[in-house]
Structure 1
Amino acid sequence: VDVFARENGLAVRNPEAVREVSGRILNGEAVGFYSDVPWEGELPPLLVPVTDREKGADEDRRPVCGIVISAEGDRQVFPLTCYLVPRDLTVGIGCRKGTAREEITRCLTRILEEKGLWEGRIARFTSVSLKRAETGIQEEALARRVPFLTFTPRELEQAPGSFHGSPFVEQTVGVDNVCERAAVLGSGAGELLVEKQAGGGITIAIARQDTSSYCVSFGPYAKER
């Protein structure tokens, strides 16, 4: 389960359930599979697809244990569920030069908690190219095992949407907003889920990638549709 998740850009919400799923399969028991995200390929033996997301007539025939792929990490499709969550969040960030990683961690953690977002959904960090060598952001991305991508001011200007511009930021960086534009651009023009949040010389925005264009695969790699 964990290998499948890693190859398909998914995070395991409750790692303790991986052993439950694997143990049942090794014992020859059927395990259910439900996904909000499109999937392709052949399901492994003993993995039973469930297409009805609501409680219905087939509920009594469902396996007791199952895998659920959904951004909603608490969807109770099976009594015993292993949740796999798409890494669909892009964190756009701006900060003062030399900002310590600990300050970035505190700020980001607070925002995630306030907005009810699970940190395991973070897919990448993004910023303006001038921050490419910013140690604090690099260390935060490394600790979370996600890439840190940067865009030139001209590229950020092309981000679609309406943003909270700042004349000071534009004069200093070359574009009126960094965190929101970087988040949207890094998410592939996704939804700006969390608008600019500022504090302690740090600005953070979060965009959600549209996973409807993504397809998980039971082959060796995940593939874009």
Structure 2
Amino acid sequence: MSKAIITLTRGGFDLGKRLQQMLNDSTLYVNGKFDVKGPGIQKIEKNITAFVGEIFNQYECLIFIMATGIVVRAIAPYIQDKKIDPAVIVLDEKGKNVISLLSGHLGGANEYAFAISELLGANPVITTASDVNQSIAVDTLAMTLHCAIEDYSDATRVTAHIVNGELVGIRSDIPIFFHLPENIDILDENEFENEKYKGMIYITERQVKKDPDKDQVILRPKNIVLGIGCRKGKSKDEILKAIHATLKNLNIDPIAIKHMATIDVKQDEPGMIDAAKTLNVPLVIISSENISAVEKEFDRSEFVKKAIGVGAVCEPAAMLSCKNGTWLQRKTAYDGITIALMREGEFEYGNHCSRNKL
């Protein structure tokens, strides 16, 4: 986790140096007027706002040791969206208070603030409503469960119901192993969504038909793995057409795709690379040697074996890149493209949530 510690005064430098020694992967930025040197120490040679613009998107967490007003003015021109902005923390020179200023949930600023406070024996200052009320926000729930939020405006509305103490229901296709506030019910498949629920959270890779008259949000587990093989020269559009046909047939939303996987022989195929970029997912490459070791478990093609050295691609690529997977679709051909699909399983949803970000 890359962190920048930014100071302007001598008192700030003393605390910053102390904090740098406690934090992994951190760089300490100091006023250029100070005659200080050392590993991981760099000087600020321009005004603070211009400097912040240079580093704002280079670090996962920016830790300022200075007045909050200075920080607010310095970061204001560069704030874009809570989905991409870094965590921003503010400390006073004496290290008495640690303020979570920006990206408290998705950026992890609240967790950073708690962790730094524990290191310094300081007071964490958290102002997000869900944390103050010992509740949970939808974006925190999504982050804990490794899910993507389909619509952030939906998430805001449902979070408001949770924070206000109103009853919210959850339908989830994945297990939830951690404690939820008392006003959140996990519904089983036989329970009816009645009017007592002011909001609903759906956690599923499947398509959901939403009720426009209710506050509902959909969280997508990133648990779908696509194994893909193709003839040389297949275009991005052809590959995407085959992928979308597969997903439509299985009633799966594209947001749920964790990655695409293929054999190393196909790693330079422009169509494969561009399709992964369009879907905004990694393209995982499996070596020919690893596929050769397991190909006997799958339906093989002698034509493919003569062409690339192995007789199966999409199924072994999916299986070898998927942890504890379940088959949702075995090898299916789409005009020179083969696709197999697995759902990753046995993930410890929620068990990773902790304050050890440092």
Report the Cα distance in structure 2 between the residues aligned to 1:6 and 1:133, rounded to whole angstroms.
33
Give the share of equivalent positions with the same residue, in percent. Answer: 28
TM-score, normalization: structure 2? 0.51
1:90 aligns with 2:202: no
Within 5 Å, give how 1:75-154 maps onto structure 2: 80-154=215-289
Q: 1:129 to 1:48 in 2, by over 3 A?
A: same
SS in 1 for 2:239: helix
Tell whether 2:291 aligns with 1:156.
yes
Q: Which residue does 1:167 correspond to in 2? A: 302
- Structure number, greater radius of gyration: 2
2:353 aligned residue: 219
TM-score (norm 1): 0.77
Q: Distance in 2 between matches of 1:87 and 1:128?
A: 22
Contact 1:31 1:46 in 2 (8 A): no
- The verdict on how the C-alpha distance between 1:38 and 1:64 changes in structure 2, with shifts beyond 3 A counting, is same
Q: CA deviation at 1:3?
A: 5.8
Cα offset for 1:64?
Answer: 2.5
Contact 2:205 2:221 in 1 (8 A): yes
Report the counterpart of residue 50 of structure 1 in structure 2.
186
What per-residue deviation string (whole Å, max 9, x for no partner) do you get for residues 118-164 of structure 1? 22221110000112222211121122221110111221234488422
Distance 1:6 1:213, change over 3 A: closer
Give distance in 2, aligned partners of 1:133 and 1:177.
18
SS at match of 1:200: coil
Q: Does 1:23 align with 2:160?
A: yes
Q: Deviations over 1:147-183 (max 9, x none)?
A: 1101112212344884220112112222210011111
Q: Which of 1 and 2 has higher RCO (CA within 8 Å, sep 6+)?
A: 1
| Amino acid across the alignment from 2:250 | K
Tell me which amino acid in the other structure corresponds to 1:179. Answer: C
Pick from 145, 156, 174: which aligns with 1:37? 174
- CA offsets, 1:66-117, max 9 Å, x none? 32323455499xx653222322211111123332211111122222223333
The alpha-carbon deviation at position 62 of structure 1 amounts to 5.2
Q: Secondary structure at the match of 1:37?
A: coil
Instruction: Name stretches of at least 5 consecutive residues in structure 1 with no aligned partner.
Output: none
Which has the higher mean CA deviation after the structures are superposed, 7-16 or 115-124?
Answer: 7-16
CA distance in 2, matches of 1:100, 1:195: 22
Contact 1:12–1:83 (CA<8 Å) still a contact in 2?
yes
- The more displaced of 93-102 and 173-182 is 93-102
Describe the shift of the 1:189–1:152 C-alpha distance in structure 2 as closer, same or farther (beyond 3 A): farther
Q: Is the 8 A contact 1:159 1:184 kept in 2?
A: no
* Distance in 1, Cα, partners of 2:342 & 2:166: 39
Q: How many residues align?
A: 215
Distance 1:34 1:202, change over 3 A: closer
